[in-house]
Copies of this chain bind each other. A is one copy, B any other.
Amino acid sequence: MDNLQLIVKKYNIAIVGATGVVGETMLSILEERNFPVNNLILLASERSSGKEYWFRGQRSTVKTLNENSFKDINIALFSAGAMISKQYADIAVSEGCTVIDNSSAFRMDSDVPLVIPEINPEALSNHNGIIANPNCTTIVTLMALNAINKYSKIKKIIASSYQAVSGAGQDGINELIDQNKAIVIGQDPQIKYFSHQIANNLIPKIDRMDENGFTAEEMKMVNETRKIFNDENIRISATCVRVPVKTAHSVAVTIETENKIPIDNVREMIKNAEGVELLDDPLNNIYPMPLLAEGKDSCLVGRIREDLVFENGISLWVSGDQLRKGAALNTIQIAEKMIEMGVI
């Protein structure tokens, strides 16, 4: 494929789960980034079909997802949960479509690349039609650690997450808003979606329990990090906690690297790294916060300091928009990178 073709080629795109909050974010990011879209097809369950969205000045009506949805589609962006991905991804691939899947369905499959384009784009060169988008907390954390890991291998990671309600979709966002409203007007907050009240509270369990006492969300951090950093020996432990914050995840991270890195060098690396922004002047109250990260493409990194426990230890704090870099943006960046690499 020569450069001229790269410039002019446009793609037929399907968004599966178009009416979800990640699907809607995908739609606006495709427009923002001027993605080379030829036809755009919005797909959802029957319940949501008929809903209309605007894309580049044209109205687009959501259609019901079915087995014939992928004819003539080049790239399908899936964000409708693992069950839908398992049911429809293979059908899409059999139609010649490339699937970029935001669910957990295929992430740990050995023949499915799990990719953050700034970190391991090379994994895209060998795929069987399905590419997996990592979990949001993994993405935000690894975006902060990537430059460090390239400079000196990370051996250990201990992470505590502060995860926004948007990780549970629009239902999660609505629940926080509704509960805050109820509290302000003196009513009892209703619990519909989360296991417990989330307004003025914290829920230290996300996703189901694994047998080892960690949650599935925490084990995603462990397993996905190993796959993305391509290092089975890295030791990782996480505590994942839902907090009453809207759309940005934050993570307190402590790591041990193979070699000692002076803290000023770490700051310099973060400053120069792609997809992250250094916000590290705590004396002047400048540090990453969810409210600053919301709506931003970059993950914000700060509170960088020499750790007091590990030998070659670094502690830091990162905030990143869960809907954008944690989900929709990374999915679309994967598609962009694949086009650039000519593997789509």
Which residues of A come within 8 Å of B, CB atoms? 156-158, 160, 162, 176, 180-181, 183-185, 195-197, 200-205, 209, 212-215, 222, 235-237, 239, 241, 243-246, 250, 252, 254, 263, 282-283, 285, 287-291, 302-310, 313, 315, 317, 319
Interchain CB contact under 8 A, A285 and B196: yes
Closest chain B residue, CB of each to CB of A280: B213
CB contact under 8 A between A204 and B288, given known A213-B263, A309-B156: yes
Interchain CB contact under 8 A, A304 and B204: no
Which 9 pairs of residues, A with B, have the shortest CB-CB distance?
A: A213-B305, A160-B160, A239-B252, A160-B252, A237-B308, A195-B285, A184-B184, A237-B309, A201-B291
Chain B residue contacts of A158, Cβ below 8 A: 158, 254, 309
Report A256 CB to chain B, min CB distance, Å: 9
Report A245 CB to chain B, min CB distance, Å: 6
Identical subunits present: 2
Interchain CB contact under 8 A, B245 and A282: no
Chain B residue contacts of A309, Cβ below 8 A: 156-158, 235-237
Closest chain B residue, CB of each to CB of A302: B204
A289 to B242, CA, bound (A): 11
A130 to B211, CA, bound (A): 49
Chain B residue contacts of A319, Cβ below 8 A: 202
A243 touches which of B162, B291, B303, B306 (Cβ 8 Å): B162
A209 touches which of B160, B235, B283, B313 (Cβ 8 Å): B283
A291 touches which of B197, B250, B305 (Cβ 8 Å): B197
A202 touches which of B157, B195, B204, B243 (Cβ 8 Å): B243
Chain B residue contacts of A283, Cβ below 8 A: 209
Interchain CB contact under 8 A, A239 and B195: no
Chain B residue contacts of A160, Cβ below 8 A: 160, 239, 252
Closest chain B residue, CB of each to CB of A181: B184
Chain B residue contacts of A204, Cβ below 8 A: 250, 252, 287-289, 302-303, 317
Closest chain B residue, CB of each to CB of A203: B289
A288 to B158, CA, bound (A): 21
Chain B residue contacts of A201, Cβ below 8 A: 245, 289-291
Q: What are 7 sample pairs from A and B whose C-beta atoms fall under 8 A apart?
A: A162-B202, A180-B183, A201-B289, A204-B250, A204-B317, A222-B308, A235-B309
Interchain CB contact under 8 A, A237 and B289: no
CB contact under 8 A between A202 and B289, given known A209-B283, A239-B317, A309-B236: yes
A252 to B317, CA, bound (A): 15
Closest chain B residue, CB of each to CB of A194: B285
Interchain CB contact under 8 A, A241 and B285: no
Report A114 CB to chain B, min CB distance, Å: 19
Chain B residue contacts of A263, Cβ below 8 A: 213
